[in-house]
């Protein structure tokens, strides 16, 4: 079954703890993205990666970190430095070399900080 | 900087009525514009893009560079059109896709 897989779907963490959200794709896409979705705020870009071992900050990268060691994987770590981490996180990938600009999204991960 | 504005958080229309979801953008170069849709309990997905000039599920959108707008239109709304709609912009040569805050469309039976 092809697509984007995010895990876990729901995650609870205590303040001061780091947490890592997983994103895996088997679409052979070059580019991968992390967005944060908050009610009334739409989607805001956290980080994106065009190729393996390279990534760029988006609009709200502070308090987050990523890695891109494999083409199919783009994990996001929400660190204790993120002041308001409770949110819905969406991962996406894109066959950017095709030039279509279409993003394929995962089902999302909802993080709640207690 | 690139910015996308969707002025309506919520739009309610009756079934069979015309629909127009507004989108305005700010970008200094030549943008590529998209509409994404999220139906209840489904993933966010691409609805249409301006370069294709296509009609998907009866929806169309025309890029108006003079007014910097990319409004989404459908002549007759259906109940299954109820969803969250996001307008998005990609700059030429960029990998970054910027989204608006979204408009929730509710079609009343």
Nearest by CB: B99 against A40, A43, A102: A43
pLDDT tens figures, B24-68:
999 988 889 999 999 999 999 999 988 777 888 999 998 998 999
| Closest Cα in chain A, distance from residue B93 (Å) | 9
Three-state SS string across chain B, please?
Answer: CCEEECCCCEEEEECCCCEEECCEEECCCCEEEEEEEECCCCCCEEEEEHHHCCCECCEEECCECCCCECCEEECCCCHHHCEEEEEEEEECCCCCEEECCCEEEEEEC
Q: Report the chain A residue with the minimal C-alpha distance to residue B5.
A: A42
Is it the case that residue B83 has pLDDT exceeding 90?
yes
8 Å CB contact of A43 and B9: no
Give average pLDDT by consecutive 10-residue segment, chain A, 114 residues.
88 91 95 93 92 93 97 96 92 76 91 91
Task: Report residue B69's pLDDT band, with 50, 70 and 90 as the boundaries.
Answer: very high
Average pLDDT taken over every residue of chain B: 93
Residue A62: the pLDDT is 96
């Amino acid at each position: 079954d092809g697509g984007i897989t995010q895990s876990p779907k729901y995650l609870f963490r205590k303040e001061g703890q780091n947490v890592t959200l997983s994103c895996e794709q088997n679409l052979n896409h070059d580019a991968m993205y992390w967005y944060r979705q908050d009610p009334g705020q739409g989607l805001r870009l956290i980080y994106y990666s065009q190729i393996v071992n390279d990534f760029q900050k988006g609009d709200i990268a502070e308090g987050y970190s990523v890695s891109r060691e494999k083409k199919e994987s783009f994990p996001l770590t929400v660190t204790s430095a993120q002041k308001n981490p409770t949110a819905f996180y969406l991962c996406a990938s894109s066959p950017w070399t095709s030039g279509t600009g279409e993003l394929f999204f995962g089902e999302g991960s909802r993080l709640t900080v207690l | 900087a690139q910015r996308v504005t969707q002025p309506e958080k919520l739009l309610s229309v009756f079934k069979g009525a015309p629909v127009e979801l507004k989108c305005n953008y700010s970008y200094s170069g030549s943008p590529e514009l998209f509409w994404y849709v999220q139906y209840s309990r489904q993933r966010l997905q691409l609805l249409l893009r301006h370069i294709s000039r296509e009609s998907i599920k009866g929806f169309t959108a025309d890029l108006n560079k003079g007014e910097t707008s990319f409004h989404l239109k459908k002549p007759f709304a259906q109940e299954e059109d109820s969803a969250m709609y996001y307008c998005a912009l990609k700059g030429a040569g960029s990998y970054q896709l910027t989204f608006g805050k979204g408009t929730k469309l509710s079609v009343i039976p």
